[in-house]
Every structure is written in structure tokens, then in C-alpha cells.
Structure 1
Amino acid sequence: MWKLTTSFPRKIITTTRTTTTTTTTTTTTTTTTTNTTTNTTTKSPSPTINTSYRCGKDFNNKSCSKGECCSKYGYCGTGSKYCGTGCQASYGRCNDGGRCGADYGKCLNDKQCCSQYGYCDISDAHCGSKCQSEFGLCYGSHDKCGEQYGRCKDDKCCSKWGYCGTSDKHCKNGCQPKYGLCK
């Protein structure tokens, strides 16, 4: 007798299961900020003397040094650019153009002299003896004129070489109108 044996290939199925565990940790940090506000009340802004040459309402109410004007653009100085139209009187002096000296500063017209009494003009009384040269022009000495020497006396012209006189060489080509007459 024969014995029949059947053999079938067996397939073994192996199932592998991978389990991944993800752990998420959330950390919450709480920050507490405390703001402290201090209110200071002053009766009015008190001007401080300006050391940076800026002044006025747009520059922390800074005032100019004594004798200086605060221009409409907030700069300290003397002369028409600072003391004339738009000058901020609350932060320095302002000048109507007629006064000069320690209390008023320079003459607004840079061709004028400052008299011993603090008035601006081009007369002998203003430009001669006791003229205040730091606040305006004064007559030159030894018939010299110009930035270093000042204005010519009387009706003289200041030449381009810095000498006072009445000739065409003094009064025409190169004449300095700030320091004398010119033709």
C-alpha cells in the first residue's frame, strides 16, 4: 500500500508591529512685568542755559546765553539771522534793529556801528570814540579798514586792499561796502 503524503508549503506570516510613542512636553512660562509711572508736575517749563547752541520750544525749552537771540529755527546767536523776524523772545533776546551792546547783542545791520550808548547807526557819533566793536563796526585806525580794522571815517570808501579813501581805486572795483561807501 501506498501511502500518499501531500505536503504543501507552509507560509509563515510574521507580523511585526512597531509602536511609536511620541511624548510632547509643553512648558508654559509666565512673565509678569510691572510698569511704574511717576508723574511730576511743574508750574512752568524752566529754561536752562543752552550749551549746544540749540534753543526754543522744539529743543526742550532751552534758552540762549545772555545777549544771544533764539532764531525761528532754534539756533542761538547774534545778528539779523537770529534776532530778526521769527526770533523766539521767550528763549533769548530779540532785537528790533535799533539797539546793541551787552544787553542787546550785535546790530542787526552788519554795516552799522554800535555807539557807547547802545544804538546802531553809521554816523561819527556811533562809529567813533567809545564805539563798541564787539557789537558792530567801528572806525578803523590809521585809515585802514576791513574785517580786522573796521569802518572808514566820514564819507570814505574802503578799498579791496583795506585802505580808506575817496579815489576810484578806493570806491569802485573791489570796494568793500560793509566797511565804507562805494560808488
Structure 2
Amino acid sequence: MPSYISLLLLLLLAAASGLCQNCGPKYNNQICAANTCCSQYGWCDTGADYCDPATCLSAFSGPGSSCAVSKPSPFLPFTSPRPQIQFTNPQHLSRPKQKKSNNNLTTTKPTTTTKTSSTTRTTTATATNTNNTFAASIPVIDVCGHAQGGVSCPGAGPGGYFYRCCSAAGHCGPKNDIQDAAMYCSDGCQAGFGKCGVNGVSKPVTTPSGSTGTAGEGETCGPIVNKRCADGLCCSGSNFCGTGEDFCGAANWCQPSWGSCAGKRTV
């Protein structure tokens, strides 16, 4: 009889372990099965503790669950699913994944030809802008902190100024050159998941220059990648080119130096 009970317990434990699933950044970014939520501790289930909207990890919850993002982002006309953009909190500027693009700051001077009495020598000079180093893309990460599975803000742009602090609400910033860094880096900043503090931190010079590139609709823009949107397109607070209120509205941090805002380019 004792052996029968032991066998039954082993079978129950095996079944339970088969149903349990880890998720989130701590577990190789695994995503929960359909209709199950990923808790802040990296476990999948359907209970209230797992699906609490204040703490659950939406990016790693299964499709159909109350925590998962239910529809693609209105930001870009991509066919693959993208995270939904929420603009109800101006500190939270979510952003979809973007297509990678190269930001080449190397310029080639015209070829010069020097004639001598016996030979003709042709040289080509190459000049590289080394004053600022611009990223080729915008960080995919937006959420951060303890409630998001311990994700840290990576820093981006010149000197890692942007996306460097994890705010009290769990979002990386500042995301652009018109946001006050104190929104993310002062009161409530989560020191263990990025940098904190604004004293002694100099904001980089981000005015578009002669080497500024041009970005089309759905492409990245702004001071991090040093690209300005093409005519008629707005550069949103989350650094993407497009049209409409999500891109051109002041409440969503439209960047006038990097595109049009409310239909008018200011620079």
C-alpha cells in the first residue's frame, strides 16, 4: 500500500510539472501557452496572482490571456504582430520593433588627380565623423524594473543618454530630446535597473546637422539615430515616422526638430 501511494504521488508531481511553465526574461524570454498569464516572478497560470494587470508580464503572456496584448500596434503597417501602443500616460511611450537600418556617417571626398612629369597619381580621401556615435536602431526595450522581471534599461544614443533610466512606473527613458530626464531619472527611479540622477549629466547636442539622414514612414527617426522624417511625416515621441495623432500630437511628444508636427515642420 505505501508503495502504491508513493507511485501515485510521483505521477501527480510529474503531471503538475508538465503543466507548469516558466516565462519572461529570467527564463530565456519564454512565452506562456495560450490563455495563460506570465506572472512577475516568471510563472504561467490563469489565477489572479498571475494575471494581475499591475504586475503581469504582458510581453510574455500567452495569446488570449487577459494580460497579453490583444491586437497589433497602430503605429506601423507591418503584417507581423506588434505590441499595442498606449498613450494614456505620457511617461509611457511604448514602441514597436523596428526594421534595422544603417546610419552611415562616413563621407567620401571627391577624387583628386595630381599630375607629375612622369606619372599621374589618383588619391581618394575619406573623412569620418567621430564627434558623435549614433545608433543604427532604437532599443526594442521599453518596460523595465522589478515588476517586469528584472529588465534593465540599456542606454542609447550619444553617451547612452537616452533610454538610460528606469522610472517608478517601470519605463525606460528619456526617449527623446524634448522629454525632461527627471521624469525617469529622479523621484522613484529604480536604481537597480538602469542609471538614476540628473545632476552632472549633460544632455547631448542633438540638433540635426548636415550629416542627418532621412527616414521614411515606419522607419526610426530622432536624436538616437540622427535621422529626420521625410516631408509630411512626423517623428513620434517613441522615434518613429508616421502621420496622425499618434505621431504628430504634442501629447505624444511629437519631435518638431525631427519631422513635422501637426502638419508643420519647424526646422
Same fold (TM over 0.5): no
Q: Which structure exhibits the higher relative contact order, with contacts defined as CA atoms closer than 8 Å and separated by 6 or more residues? A: 2
Higher helix share: 2
Q: Which structure has the larger Rg over C-alpha atoms?
A: 1
Calculate the TM-score normalised by the size of structure 2: 0.23
